[in-house]
Amino acid sequence: MKKVLLLMALIIAVLAFTACADTPAAPVAPAVTEDVAEPPAEEPAEETPADVVETNDEEAEPAAPSALQMDRIVLGTNAGFPPFEFIADAGQGRFGQYSGIDIAIGMRIAERLGAELVIHDAEFAGLIMELNAGTIDFIAAAMTIRPDRKEHVHFSTPYFTAMQYIVVPYADTTITSVEDLAGARIGVQLGTTGEFFVQDYVDYEDLLSYSLIAQGFMEMRRGGLDAIVVDSVVAMMFVNQHPDELRIIRDNDAFASEHYGIAVRHEDTDLLAVINEVLEEMLSGGEIDALFGYYSERLNQAE
Ligand code: GLN
């Protein structure tokens, strides 16, 4: 009896061991390779083997997010916010006609996922709605992390610190701080932190909210605006292009620092993890600083 039991135990143990050894080894490994190979298979057949080889070569990379498979990923932005996103001169875009720090970040995210990047250029004020409607997969638009926005999206690690600056016509002598904005005709970008600030804290005469802040700067140069309230770096870009016509006023007591984050839908936690990984690499490797330096120089030379 004892012998029979022992034998049965042995048989069960052997069977269990064989099952364990077989199941993961055979079907799982090829399935993973096939999944990786599939997205580029949309391309002509000859290109596929090269792509597969490349993917396999990179297997040693840390924490490859293989759980997330996307053929294409749509970046939502508002391409009128240099140096973060703008439409480049013919042929000079980092991605098609689009260029900028956020575009470069988006390219790195798509590359990490092995996905094709698609850019959806839209009104800044509508980006969060578009994300939750599924038109876009993530927002890279110099978007400030705010508690009210967090109710609708998840933000990445902060990747840039900014604040609001006031821009005035060069010859103006009346505006030296936020307090002096009382009674002024002010331009802002629609749905931005600049607009929220002016609405909440300034007793303005007129508040004009533009889809593209470039329209506000044009209006100011025509004499139609007393002040523009906009993100610091963007203010610097526009003022540096017209240093004889525009001037920056800073008010560190009135404006708080703001941190930019990439936004995803609440449920897309896997995508957020990949984005954070890419951002942390770009931040610690000094890549974001380098991009900022590159664009500052290049855009300042524009005129
Ligand atoms: N950082 C500002 C905000 O989040 C402006 C962003 C933008 O206009 N692209 O509201």
pLDDT for position 31 = 33
Closest by Cα among 124, 122, 82, 85 to 107: 85
Residues 81, 194 contacting (CB under 8 angstroms): no
Flag whether pLDDT at 51 surpasses 80.
no
Confidence label for 37 from pLDDT (cuts 50, 70 and 90)? very low
Ligand 1 atom nearest to 195, measured from its CA = 10
Q: Is the peptide bond before 62 cis (omega within 30 degrees of 0)?
A: no
Q: How far apart are the C-alpha atoms of 190 and 176, rounded to whole Å?
A: 24
Q: 131 CA distance to ligand 1 centroid (A)?
A: 16
Tokens of 266: 């609440």
Residue 35 has pLDDT above 80, yes or no: no
Which atom from ligand 1 is nearest to the alpha carbon of 196?
Answer: 10
Return the ligand 1 atom nearest residue 85 CA: 9
CA of 302 to the centre of ligand 1 (A): 23
DSSP string computed for 3-52: HHHHHHHHHHHHHHHHHHHHHIIIIIHHHHHHHHHTGGGGS-TTHHHHHH
pTM for the model: 0.78
Task: Find which of 45-49, 50-54, 203-207 is predicted with most confidence, using mean pLDDT.
Answer: 203-207
Residue whose Cα lies nearest atom 10 of ligand 1: it is 192
Measure the N-to-C terminal CA separation of the chain; round to a whole number of Å. 96
Residue of 121, 192, 199, 238 with the most ligand 1 atoms within 8 Å of its CB, for mutation: 192
Ligand 1: centre distance to CA 228 (Å): 14
Rounded to whole angstroms, the Cα distance separating 110 from 100 reads 15
pLDDT at 137 over 50: yes
Task: Produce one character per residue of 26-59: b if its CB has 16 or more CB atoms within 10 Å, e if not.
Answer: eeeeeeeeeebbebbeeeeeeebeebbeebeeee
pLDDT digits (tens, 9 = 90+) for 63-73: 554 468 889 99
Using the mean position of ligand 1's atoms as its centre, give its distance from the Cα of residue 192 in Å.
Answer: 5
Q: What is the pLDDT of residue 156?
A: 98
pLDDT tens digits along 264-296 = 999 999 999 999 999 999 999 999 999 999 988
C-alpha to C-alpha distance for 195 and 274, rounded to whole angstroms: 32
Pocket test for ligand 1, best of 77, 101, 144 (most atoms within 8 A of CB): 144
Mean pLDDT across the chain: 83
Please write the tens of the pLDDT for every residue from 208-239: 999 999 999 999 999 999 999 999 999 999 99
Q: Tell me the average pLDDT across 35-44.
A: 36
Cα dihedral: 113, 117, 119, 124 (round 10): 10
CB atoms within 10 A of CB 133: 10
Least confident residue range of 51-60, 85-94, 253-262 = 51-60
Ligand 1 atom closest to residue 78's alpha carbon, by position in its atom list:
9
Q: How far apart are CA 264 and CA 109, in angstroms?
A: 13
Task: State the distance from the centre of ligand 1 to the C-alpha of 268, rounded, in angstroms.
Answer: 22
**Residue 24: pLDDT above 70?**
no
Lining residues, ligand 1, CB within 6 Å: 78, 81, 124, 141-144, 189, 192-193, 231, 258
What's the CA-to-centroid distance between 189 and ligand 1, angstroms?
8
Alpha helix segments (H runs only) across 151-286: 193-201, 213-221, 232-241, 269-284
